[in-house]
Amino acid sequence: MKSNREMEQLDKRKKKTIEERRQDILEAALNIFTEKGYNGSTTAEIARAAGVAEGTIFRHFATKKELLVAVLKPKILKGIISLDKEQKDPVEFFRCFLKNRLELIKENDGLVRFMFAEAQYHEEVREALSNGILGDGINIIKPWFDKGVEEGVFKPIPFPAMMRSFMGMVLFYGIFNHVFPGFSPERTIDEAADQILELFLNGLLIN
């Protein structure tokens, strides 16, 4: 019997492991889905893009919808952990967080738009988003918001209202540029983040 190490080497040279095949399918599905939408994509097309037979998809995922959920689940909130935890200043936290989110959203532009588009029609997607963003994401933001309020730096507005507006500003960034191409002159992420942050922190009024 060969060692695991030898088996892995063989696999790399000749064959793909089950997990690698799975990843191929997930990656292809992500690309096709984000381009054409869930109902606009066919399993045949995904199989072609993944370089497998159509039947292989259903060996890994029982249904097309199961594939959809499997595509989205691991993508939700990816990277939130990488946030700098040594921040002590609530304002600085929001600055870092916003830039981090905006970069993530720009990198995964199609994915984010796809997620929120399909969330309109699939309960499963809404649940995944709720569990991910509400379950984990908000637990990171809320303490910082509360801290800012306690320190007298932030206004004591209701957290959900703040959250809703903040997410709107950030998430709509990609949607806006996709729906209204060319309207917003192209700038760097930093510039966009600064503009959003300025509005979010200080508002439109001057005094």
Partner DNA sequence: CTATGGAGTGAGTAATCACTCATTTCTTAA
Partner DNA sequence: TTAAGAAATGAGTGATTACTCACTCCATAG
Q: Residues in the site for a second copy, rule: CB under 8 A?
A: 35-40, 91, 94, 113-114, 116-121, 126, 129-130, 133-134, 148, 152-155, 157-158, 160-162, 164-165, 167-173, 175-180, 183-185, 192, 195-196, 198-206
Q: CB of 48: closest distance to a second copy in angstroms?
A: 19
Smallest CA-to-CA distance from 172 within 202, 192, 145, 188 is with: 192
Q: How far is the CB of 10 from DNA (least distance, A)?
A: 5
* Rounded Cα gap, residues 124 and 63, in angstroms: 13
Q: Where do we find the tokens 């200080």? A: 202
Beta carbon of residue 23, minimum distance to DNA (angstroms, whole number): 11
In the complex, what is the shortest distance from the CB of residue 64 to a second copy, in angstroms, rounded to a whole number?
12
Token pair 């080497």 is found at: 9
Report the alpha-carbon distance of residue 196 to residue 39 in Å, rounded: 34
- Rounded to the nearest angstrom, the gap between the alpha carbon of residue 84 and the centroid of all alpha carbons in its chain is 18
User: How far apart are CB 1 and DNA at their closest, in Å?
Assistant: 4
- Contacting residues toward DNA, per CB under 7 A: 1-2, 7, 10-11, 14-16, 18, 21, 41-44, 52-56, 58-60, 62-65
* 85 in Cβ contact with 100 (< 8 Å): no
The Cα–Cα gap between 153 and 163 comes to 17
How far apart, in whole angstroms, are the C-alpha atoms of residue 151 and residue 104? 30
Q: Which is nearer to a second copy, 16 or 106 (CB)?
A: 106
> Closest approach of Cβ 129 to DNA, in Å?
22
Residue 167 binds what, of DNA, a second copy, none (CB under 5 to 8 Å, by partner type)?
A: a second copy
**Contacted entry of a second copy, DNA, none for residue 43, CB cut-off 5 to 8 Å set by kind:** DNA
Q: Which does 53 bind (CB under 5 to 8 A by kind): a second copy, DNA, none?
A: DNA
Residue 89: other Cβ atoms inside 10 A: 14
Could you tell which of DNA, a second copy, none binds residue 165, using a CB distance below 5 to 8 A set by kind? a second copy
Q: Which does 170 bind (CB under 5 to 8 A by kind): a second copy, DNA, none?
A: a second copy
> What letter would DSSP give residue 119?
T
Residue 27 makes CB contacts below 8 A (sequence gap 6+) with 50
